[in-house]
Amino acid sequence: MLALWLIAAAFSDPQTLPGPGRVLQVIGREAASGELWTHVGVTLLRVAVAFVIAMAIGVAVGILMGLSRRADRALDLWLVFFLNLPALVVIILAYVWLGLTETAAVLAVAVNKIPNVVVTMREGARALDAELDEVARVYRVPFTAKLRHFIIPQLAPYLAAATRSGVALIWKIVLVVELLGRSDGVGFKLHVHFQLFEIDAILAYALSFIAVMQAFEWLVLRPLERRANRWRQA
């Protein structure tokens, strides 16, 4: 990918497509001034808060819909509605109704993500093993223990899927939210540099954030998954 970038950059105007060296230089400059850390940090915080809200609500509603046919029927219409509601509409309405505030920004992102989590977790809850449920019932396993030893291990692959696709989707939407109504964060910086047509800075911020997300994948998600899947390898 790096080679492709080098070749493409060599043949194009450095204004439109700066080479990796130039972008690295900008990253260094922004990091030294502290700008990079501030904006990446702010964006990361928004991603984290929106992610926690979306997962908490999405997992709870998804499991409820997967286990209870009545809940599924009652909520399905809402699910389809939110699933097909364009992200941009949610963001605009959130800003109009709640003002250009932090709450509106994070909420808009969470609302965009919740339906996806619900869909994934509903499938997971539907696939829960009825035979193991009978074991829990006959041995009167208390609810918290049942959750920990019976339900969560079965839902782990679905949680991992929701987390991975969730983080990726959320950070993209956070950028749009920042672009439209925040005065800090990576999305705001992209907006500023776009207006000045500084492609090198745009690439610098985008790549820095991708690096942060990659680190999250390698340092948090992978080890967690390895732990959850120990019994499969044994």
Rounded least distance, CB 137 to other proteins, Å: 6
| Span from 29-37, 56-64, 97-105, 128-136 in contact with other proteins (CB under 8 A) | 128-136
Long-range contacts of 193-202 (CB under 8 A, 24+ apart): 197/15, 199/15, 199/16, 199/17, 199/18, 200/18, 200/22, 200/23, 200/25, 200/26, 201/26, 201/30
Residue keyed to tokens 């041995």: 139
Rounded least distance, CB 153 to other proteins, Å: 4
Among 33, 60, 88, 149, contact with other proteins (rule: CB under 8 A): 149
Q: Find the distance separating the first CA and the last CA of the chain, reported in whole Å.
A: 37
| Span from 9-17, 49-57, 137-145, 160-168 in contact with other proteins (CB under 8 A) | 137-145
Structure tokens at 37: 């850390």
Rounded least distance, CB 84 to other proteins, Å: 33
| Span from 17-25, 116-124, 134-142, 177-185 in contact with other proteins (CB under 8 A) | 134-142
Q: By CB under 8 A, name the binding residues for other proteins.
A: 131-132, 134-135, 137-141, 145, 149-150, 153, 228, 231-232, 234
